[in-house]
């Protein structure tokens, strides 16, 4: 028992059932599933053996021990590191809204929390970009120029109040697009800078951008090699 993480899996929609089955076999029953679209270039799509940009995004909360077990199975049983396999990664959770919520997410009542630690020198980070709808090409063109391989797009809707609307210069209740980009830590700053210069708050995209530390990944080995 100990550290808990938000585990995100992004795979082709055609094979998501295989992943969900594996997770259920490992008692990961609390799943949040949404649809997304990949943004990788044609060259990367061909290299990875991908024939579709339609993605499924599955999110769950896991303990560190469970993630390490699942990661091995993703690599051995589902060949996630092979072309077309997908990607899974973990982001540390620093807090959860109440004991009952934690028990619900983990489906157990005997969890013992470890002392929080400060994360340093992680190899990857998740860049999250939230923008007006219709500007993902601008965002991804800028990200690729800075070295990013591709991202995943999720449609959303803003719900901010009047003060935030005035500050941002845009009605946040408009349709939004969220772009997830897993980046090497040493390339993150350049990628975020390029995105904000081309699609930031002074542009029509009105994008905001932030990053989160990714503690572990599965499915990036081929790209990195």
CATH of domain 124-213: 3.30.70.120
pLDDT of residue 94: 67
Rg from Cα positions in the chain = 18
Please state the length of the chain: 225
pLDDT of residue 222: 47
- As to burial, measured by CB atoms within 10 angstroms (0-12 exposed, 13-18 middle, 19+ buried), residue 59 is middle
Give, as one character, the DSSP assignment of residue 15. Answer: G
- Global confidence as pTM: 0.72
pLDDT tens across the length of the chain (225 residues): 468 888 999 998 889 999 999 999 998 876 788 888 887 666 555 544 555 578 889 988 888 899 999 999 999 999 998 877 789 999 987 666 667 767 777 776 666 665 545 555 678 889 999 888 899 999 999 999 998 888 899 987 665 545 445 444 555 456 788 999 999 889 999 999 999 999 988 899 988 888 888 988 888 654 455
Q: Is the dihedral of CA 209, 212, 217, 223 positive or negative?
A: positive
Which part of the chain is CATH 3.30.70.120? Answer: 4-116+215-224, 124-213
> Residue 120, Cβ neighbours under 10 Å: how many?
6
pLDDT of residue 163: 47
Contact partners, residue 142, CB within 8 Å, separation at least 6: 194, 195, 197, 198, 199
> Residue 165, Cβ neighbours under 10 Å: how many?
15
Does residue 204 sit in helix, strand or coil? Answer: coil
Q: Please give the Cα distance from 223 to 44 (Å, whole number).
A: 9
As given in the structure block, the two tokens for residue 83 are 């072309």
CATH topology for 4-116+215-224 is Alpha-Beta Plaits (3.30.70)
Strands, E assignment, the chain: 4-12, 32-38, 54-63, 87-92, 124-132, 152-157, 175-184, 208-214, 216-218
């Amino acid at each position: 028992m100990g550290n808990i993480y938000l585990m995100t899996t992004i795979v082709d929609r055609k094979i998501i059932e295989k992943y969900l089955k594996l997770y259920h076999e490992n008692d990961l029953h609390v799943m949040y599933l949404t649809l997304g679209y990949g943004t990788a270039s044609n060259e990367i799509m061909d290299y990875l053996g991908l024939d579709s940009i339609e993605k499924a995004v599955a999110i769950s909360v896991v303990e560190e021990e469970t993630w390490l077990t699942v990661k091995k199975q993703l690599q051995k049983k589902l060949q996630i590191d092979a072309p077309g396999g997908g990607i899974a990664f973990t982001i540390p959770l620093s807090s959860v809204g109440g004991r009952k919520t934690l028990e619900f997410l983990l489906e157990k009542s005997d969890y013992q929390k470890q002392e929080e630690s400060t994360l340093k020198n992680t190899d990857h980070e998740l860049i999250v970009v939230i923008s007006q709808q219709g500007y993902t090409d601008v965002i991804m063109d800028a990200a690729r120029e800075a070295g990013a391989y591709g991202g995943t797009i999720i449609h959303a809707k803003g719900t901010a109040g009047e003060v935030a609307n005035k500050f941002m210069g845009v009605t946040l209740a408009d349709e939004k697009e969220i772009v997830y980009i897993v980046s090497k830590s040493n390339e993150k700053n350049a990628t975020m800078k390029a995105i904000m210069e081309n699609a930031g708050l002074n542009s029509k995209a009105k994008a905001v951008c932030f990053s989160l530390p990714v503690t572990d990944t599965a499915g990036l080995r081929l790209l990195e090699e």
